[in-house]
Chains A and B, each alone.
Chain A
Amino acid sequence: MRGGALVAPPDRQAGVDFSQILQNILNGLSIGSVYAIFALGYTLVFSILGIINFAHGAVFTLGAYFTYALTGQRFGFNGLLSNTALPVALPFIVAMLGGATLAGLVSVLVERVAFRPLRQRNADRLLSVVSSLGVAVILVNLIQYLVGAESYSYPSNPFGLSKPAINFGSVERPIPVRSIQIVIFAVALVILLLLTLAINRTMLGKALQAVAEDLTTARLLGINTKRLIVLTFFVSGFLAGLAGTLVGASQSITGPYFGITFGLKGLGVIVLGGLGNVSGAVLGGFVIGLAEAFVPPQFVQYKEAVAFAILFLILLIRPQGLLGRTQVQKV
């Protein structure tokens, strides 16, 4: 007896599922790579100072707005800078890197204002958390004060792509993926690769690892820790700003609070990977990106909660994160 007639032909059934799965994977990798570069910024700062920079999400927002300004587009009518535009109009890629650089400089300023004074006073670490929250509040509301609360979009097709979507399947069974998602994935991968090389292959990267291991010992060994901390904040802000532009290019800049939810999701990413663990942040970014991509369409309204549910579960099951070490606290 053969029961094959009752079920659908196996290859077709698998094919339908497979195309959906492949599409989810590609979308998940794309957003996951942005989570990864964003969360790396959190993690770099955490690894050397042991604090979480809550202004990171606000710097992400700023980066997106800087890029918008550098492409020479006009701001809306609400806010102090109503209807103004820069006299220059840079190509998108240049504006993106410029925006990220400016975001990096803001991040250095954040360190100067919110973290260094407290560090010099040897204050409680929770106070640094609070003070970076204060900076986030200032930045977000400053944006609103200057350019209003409306959403902004980059020029359509910012990367000058020839096709809006690329088909990964066949003609009969198309698996379309928006080409911007692929560009985002590529940009994020290049950045991740460069950063990995910089951390593992350069003297500066080795110095960074030494500072992450033990700040005082690193200083005793002749490493200029102050300069390294400034550099770390610059890199962290650069990554945040870049992530902001990439997310803005894939959707739009939804207003001054653009980066706050993203920033909070980033906390889920770093806790999942292990606080202060660089490879963990990358892994966590991809895991959360993929998890969000696989939320079934009928539950799409719960997608925003996925990162937070994961954060909570990981605190419950494995607080040191996927790749983290358990730390024994000594007196």
Chain B
Amino acid sequence: MSDFFNTYGSLIVFMVLNALLALSLYLPLMAGQLSLASPGFFALGGYIAAIMSTKVFHVEAGAYPLGYVLIEMLLAALASGVLALIVGIPSLRLRGIYLALATIAFIEIVRVLSLTLEITGGAVGIFGIPQPFGTPLGYLWLALPLLIVAALAIWRLERVRVGRAFNAIRADELAAGAMGINTTYHKVLAFTLGAILAGIVGVVYAHVLNTWNARQGTFEAGVAYLTYVLIGGSRTVVGPIVGGLALTALPEVLRSLGGESLPTWLNNFLNSGQSIIYGTLIVLSTTFFPQGLITPRLLRFWRRTRASNDQ
């Protein structure tokens, strides 16, 4: 068992962190807003962690104190939140596709800036980010509580007034506005919450990876998070979590499927063709199961069967 955790320790941490990133994209989607901005805020959080830990806090030897990581998370949350308001308010006054376009512009601008600015280390990036834990698996102490808190908070959010307003906007924005819901306010709120989550995850990610550069927050990364949400399910909080966990593990599973008995092209495909499989899954899921694999109906069905088994 300990062998298993040693081999797959970092994979397990990345599974949890990617589930969190999926949630960061799920939040704006709760209010019907397609945002690809998560990688931008994620990159910002990572840079905050990288710069603070290598240039501001000087830790000579030993493990990097967790308290500093928490300060970095707080800073990343603040910065992401403020930036999300700046990006979100102008683009969310509009309906439809405009937010997706604005967020694409945003991540591309972030990418160009991180490639050119001096403080982000240019194309090389920032190296030697200190580690608070000795093993990759140790990061579960940060990632797992974060996932549990985020999941519970979103689960609760869906059951209070604000969450219901999100839902109403997703169902029909004009009707929601006519019912007296301040649509722009709620859309900006959903977008900002997602941005804050992505920024916080960026901090943890930067420490896990030990290095941070402009390749971390790209358009392609945004498409990957979107895949997690869509395949997992975009209508319940469980969906993105399952999608993030499962699709992060998928490449490893595919790789283990390969072997001597298979032809070389198939082995190559199982090793390097994961993105083709992702893309195919996106196309198939939008057509055949637009709500994803975990739908509200499925959850209700499970609950009912469990209830009847208990009796």
Select which of B34, B268, B272, B282 is within 8 A of A137 by beta carbon: B282
Query: Across the interface, which residues of B come within 8 angstroms of A309, CB to CB?
Result: 105, 109
Closest A residue, CB atoms, query B32: A126
Q: Does residue B125 face the partner (Cβ distance < 8 Å to A)? A: no
Cα A133 to Cα B104 with chains together (Å): 13
Q: Does residue B98 face the partner (Cβ distance < 8 Å to A)? A: yes
Select which of B91, B104, B279 is within 8 A of A138 by beta carbon: B279
Cα A117 to Cα B269 with chains together (Å): 27
Cα A118 to Cα B282 with chains together (Å): 13
Query: Across the interface, which residues of B come within 8 angstroms of A308, CB to CB?
Result: 104-106, 108-109, 112
Q: Does residue A305 face the partner (Cβ distance < 8 Å to B)? A: yes
Q: Does residue B102 face the partner (Cβ distance < 8 Å to A)? A: yes
Q: Is the CB of A123 within 8 A of B286?
A: yes
Query: Across the interface, which residues of A come within 8 angstroms of B95, CB to CB?
Result: 329
Q: Does residue A89 face the partner (Cβ distance < 8 Å to B)? A: no
Nearest-neighbour CB distance to chain B for A194, whole angstroms, equals: 29
Knowing A124-B290, A309-B109, A311-B101 are in contact, say whether A135-B273 is a contact too (CB < 8 A).
no
Q: Is the CB of A118 within 8 A of B219?
A: no
Nearest-neighbour CB distance to chain A for B135, whole angstroms, equals: 33
Knowing A121-B287, A129-B97, A331-B174 are in contact, say whether A311-B105 is a contact too (CB < 8 A).
yes
Q: Does residue B22 face the partner (Cβ distance < 8 Å to A)? A: no
Query: Across the interface, which residues of B come within 8 angstroms of A138, CB to CB?
Result: 276, 279-280, 283
Question: Can you list, as one digit per residue, whether each of A104-140 has a CB less than 8 Å from chain B (1) or not (0)?
Answer: 0000000001100110010111111111011111111
Query: Across the interface, which residues of B come within 8 angstroms of A261, CB to CB?
Result: 108
Closest A residue, CB atoms, query B95: A329
Knowing A118-B286, A131-B286, A134-B283 are in contact, say whether A315-B102 is a contact too (CB < 8 A).
yes
Q: Is the CB of B283 within 8 A of A113?
A: yes
Q: Does residue B153 face the partner (Cβ distance < 8 Å to A)? A: no
Cα A133 to Cα B279 with chains together (Å): 8
Q: Is the CB of A305 within 8 A of B112?
A: yes
Q: Is the CB of B279 within 8 A of A301?
A: no
Query: Across the interface, which residues of A come within 8 angstroms of B223, CB to CB?
Result: 133, 136-137
Q: Does residue B116 face the partner (Cβ distance < 8 Å to A)? A: yes
Q: Does residue A186 face the partner (Cβ distance < 8 Å to B)? A: no
Q: Is the CB of A311 within 8 A of B286?
A: no
Q: Is the CB of A304 within 8 A of B104?
A: no
Q: Is the CB of A312 within 8 A of B287?
A: no
Question: Can you list, as one digit per residue, whether each of A159-198 has a CB less than 8 Å from chain B (1) or not (0)?
Answer: 0000000000000000000000000000000000000000
The count of chain B contact residues (Cβ–Cβ below 8 Å) is 45
Q: Is the interface of B mostly helix, strand, loop or mixed?
A: helix
Cα A149 to Cα B281 with chains together (Å): 23
Question: Can you list, as one digit per residue, whether each of A64-108 has a CB less than 8 Å from chain B (1) or not (0)?
Answer: 000000000000000010000000000000000000000000000
Query: Across the interface, which residues of B come within 8 angstroms of A126, CB to CB?
Result: 32, 34, 97, 100
Q: Is the CB of A141 within 8 A of B276?
A: yes
Q: A130-B34, A308-B106, A312-B105 are in contact. List 20 more A-B contacts (CB 8 A).
A: A80-B265, A114-B283, A121-B287, A123-B286, A123-B290, A125-B97, A127-B286, A129-B34, A130-B282, A135-B279, A138-B283, A140-B275, A145-B273, A261-B108, A301-B112, A302-B112, A309-B109, A312-B102, A312-B106, A315-B101
Report which A residues bind B (CB closer than 8 A).
Answer: 51-52, 80, 113-114, 117-118, 121, 123-131, 133-142, 144-145, 260-261, 264, 267-268, 271, 275, 301-302, 304-305, 308-309, 311-312, 315-316, 319, 329, 331
Report which B residues bind A (CB closer than 8 A).
Answer: 32, 34, 90-91, 94-98, 100-102, 104-106, 108-109, 112-113, 115-116, 174-175, 219-220, 223, 226-227, 230, 265, 268-269, 272-273, 275-276, 278-283, 286-287, 290
30 intermolecular pairs with C-beta atoms under 8 Å apart? A80-B268, A127-B286, A128-B286, A129-B34, A130-B230, A130-B282, A131-B283, A131-B287, A133-B226, A134-B281, A135-B279, A136-B223, A137-B279, A138-B276, A141-B273, A145-B268, A145-B272, A145-B273, A260-B219, A264-B108, A264-B219, A267-B101, A268-B105, A304-B112, A305-B108, A305-B112, A308-B105, A308-B106, A312-B90, A331-B175
Which 4 A-B pairs give the minimum distances between C-beta atoms?
A: A134-B282, A137-B279, A138-B279, A308-B105
